[in-house]
Every structure is written in structure tokens, then in C-alpha cells.
């Protein structure tokens, strides 16, 4: 069982039996380097998708274990970041489907067991309340595209690789996601205005009653 820890990935990669034709030592060294470089942003992406620090910490480790096991699927080293996001993306969607998580809950900034650097990144990427709620209303595929492109700065080609679709399809998903988000934000703004109007009316009634 993987421990929720931020120590070097060799603590959970060494000793895992993998029946592959490629060199396991080479794979371990490569994935350890990826872990050191990208663990924080992968963790932060999973926090954004799943809204659970503990779960994100577990699944971030799962993603790197899967990267190790599937090292032979990486075609070019320069594509490693997008390849890693693709693995993390699938891990997140698998968990969402399994647990039927369809909305984000407010992020408190607490992530027990996560690396300090990952916590710092997650805090830096904290979104406003209305934006959190708006993101929660759009399909997870579109939410993932927005997070990958707008928060994690993946290029168009990297986004396509991470989502496992063509460049054209990735652009289409992102376009739909932005439109969905605009509509959701508009609905959030209307709801806020309605709530403010109701509060003002209540205060006015209470003021007249108190006079």
C-alpha cells in the first residue's frame, strides 16, 4: 500500500514488479526525475479536479506509479510533461466516475500528507468562490481542459496529448468549456445579485419594523 508521502518516488517505485522489455532502472531514474520536477503541479491539478487534498496526494502517487509501469509508452522525452498530465487526467476521471464526484467543494488550503511545495502551489492556484462554483457546474471533461490550459499553461499540443485527443478536438473542447464557464459565471452573478437584493429587502423590512 502506498504511503501518502512526499519523499522521493523511489520509495514506492523500487521493488514493484513490472514485466516489461525496457530497462527498469532507466525507467525508475527517469520517473524519479519527473517526480522531482512535476509532482507539485500534478498534485495541484488533481486537487483542482477532485477538491480533496488527501485523495489528490494518493492519486498523484498513483499517477507516477502508472508512469513508471507505462514508461515504454512515452515516445519522446520532450513530451514527458504532457504524457504525465495524460496519465494524471485519466487517473482523475477514473476516480470521478467511480465515486460520482460531480462538484468541487471549497478548498481550505489544507492537504494532509502533501509536500509543502505542492501545498504552496495549491494555495497559489486557489480560485475565487464564484469561479469554483461555476467550474463545478460544467462537465468534468471541459473542466479538465480549462484547468490544464488556463491554470497549468499546457500548450494546444500538450493539451491534446494530455486529453488523448487530436489538436482540433482539444481546441473544440476548450472552446466549449470557455462558453460553458461564461454561462455558469453569468448564472453565479445573477444568483449573487438576487441574494443581495433579498438581503437588502430583509434589512429594509427589519428596519421599518424596528422604527
Residues 36 and 118 both lie in one domain? yes
- pLDDT tens column, 29-76: 999 999 999 999 999 899 888 878 889 999 999 999 999 999 988 888
pLDDT at 209 (0 to 100): 64
Among 126, 152, 174, the domain-final residue is 126
Residues 56 and 156 both lie in one domain? no
- How many C-beta neighbours within 10 Å does residue 61 have? 25
- pLDDT tens column, 120-178: 444 344 555 677 778 878 888 898 898 888 888 888 888 898 888 899 999 999 999 98
- What does the CA dihedral 192, 193, 196, 200 come to, rounded to 10 degrees? -170
How many independent structural domains does the chain possess? 2
Query: Is the CB of residue 154 less than 8 Å from the CB of residue 85?
Result: yes
Residues 98 and 23 both lie in one domain? yes
Residues 95 and 153 both lie in one domain? no
Domain residue limits at 99: 1-126
Among 126, 148, 171, the domain-final residue is 126
Amino acid at each position: 500500500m502506498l504511503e501518502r508521502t512526499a519523499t522521493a518516488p523511489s520509495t514506492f517505485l523500487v521493488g514493484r514488479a513490472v514485466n516489461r522489455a525496457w530497462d527498469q532502472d532507466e525507467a525508475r531514474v527517469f520517473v524519479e526525475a519527473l517526480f522531482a520536477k512535476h509532482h507539485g503541479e500534478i498534485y495541484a491539478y488533481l486537487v483542482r479536479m477532485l477538491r480533496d487534498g488527501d485523495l489528490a496526494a494518493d492519486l498523484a502517487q498513483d499517477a507516477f506509479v502508472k508512469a513508471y509501469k507505462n514508461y515504454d509508452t512515452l515516445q519522446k522525452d520532450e513530451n514527458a510533461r504532457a504524457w504525465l498530465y495524460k496519465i494524471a487526467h485519466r487517473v482523475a476521471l477514473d476516480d470521478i466516475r467511480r465515486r460520482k464526484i460531480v462538484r468541487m467543494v471549497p478548498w481550505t488550503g489544507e492537504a494532509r500528507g502533501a509536500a509543502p511545495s505542492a501545498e504552496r502551489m495549491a494555495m497559489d492556484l486557489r480560485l475565487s468562490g464564484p469561479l469554483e462554483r461555476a467550474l463545478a457546474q460544467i462537465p468534468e471533461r471541459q473542466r479538465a481542459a480549462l484547468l490544464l490550459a488556463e491554470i497549468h499553461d499546457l500548450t494546444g499540443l500538450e493539451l491534446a496529448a494530455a486529453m488523448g485527443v487530436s489538436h482540433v478536438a482539444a481546441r473544440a473542447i476548450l472552446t466549449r468549456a470557455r462558453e460553458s464557464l461564461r454561462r455558469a459565471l453569468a448564472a453565479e452573478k445573477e444568483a449573487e445579485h438576487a441574494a443581495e437584493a433579498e438581503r437588502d429587502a430583509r434589512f429594509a423590512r427589519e428596519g421599518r419594523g424596528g422604527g
